[in-house]
Amino acid sequence: MSDSMQVSKLEAAQRQLDFAICMLFAGADPIAVHTLVGAASIIFTDMVENIAPDKSWDKMAQNANNLAPAEYFNIMRRAQNFFKHARTDHDAALDFDLDDTESLAFWAVMNASELAPLSIEAQVFQLWYIASHSPVSDDNESPLREAIQLFGDLRAKPREERFQAGFRVLHEASKHMSHFVIRQGLL
């Protein structure tokens, strides 16, 4: 008799994204992290476009950048598609911009937020991304203010230092959440 589990598309995407965020902050292999983020991103995109198309962050980004959907997804999923296909370009190489993973994960988190409450991992990542990449110059503007209070201003920090800050905050948040869950008798 084999073991099995039943899982919804939403739960699969949430679990993929949460694990990818943990891997990203831990400095795991960037290709594996990107591949896992990409898998979650596709599910969240498909679900939000079917359930709440007016809340699709992909569509908002397409409109803001005046891009057709195909053009937008070619840009957003360029590395992801490279990592999963080799039928016609088996000898190709890619200049992989490591920041692409962070951006793809951020849009996945934003779409996920339209479907269900965010996990601790997704909430921490969302604020970490803002502390790391916000173009806003006024650090009193919300949500940048909250992100900087939690992480400090990470925008000028080296990649490794930004990941260490994410790892530290996620570890602390997870520790506090597990204490809450245990006290509530949920574990």
- Under 8 Å between Cβ of 69 and 56: no
**Tokens 């597990």 found at:** 178
Higher pLDDT, 64 or 176: 64
Residue 179 has pLDDT above 80, yes or no: no
| Domain boundaries along the sequence of the chain | 1-118, 119-187
> Helix, strand, or coil here: 77?
coil
The neighbour count for residue 186, using CB atoms within 10 Å, is: 8
| Res 89: pLDDT | 87
Residue 159 has pLDDT above 90, yes or no: yes
Q: What's the whole-number average pLDDT of the chain?
A: 90
Residue 5 has pLDDT above 60, yes or no: yes
The neighbour count for residue 20, using CB atoms within 10 Å, is: 27
What's the mean pLDDT in 6-23? Answer: 96
Question: Cα separations (Å) of 141 from 106, 137, 144, 149, 155?
Answer: 19, 9, 6, 12, 15
Confidence of residue 111 (pLDDT cuts 50, 70, 90): very high
**Tokens 């925008």 found at:** 155
Model confidence pLDDT, tens digit, residues 119-139: 999 999 999 999 999 988 887
Nearest to 18 by CA among 45, 2, 4, 39: 39
**SS3 for 94-144, per residue?**
CCCCCHHHHHHHHHHHHHHHCCCCCCHHHHHHHHHHHHHHCCCCCCCCCCH
| Res 100: pLDDT | 94
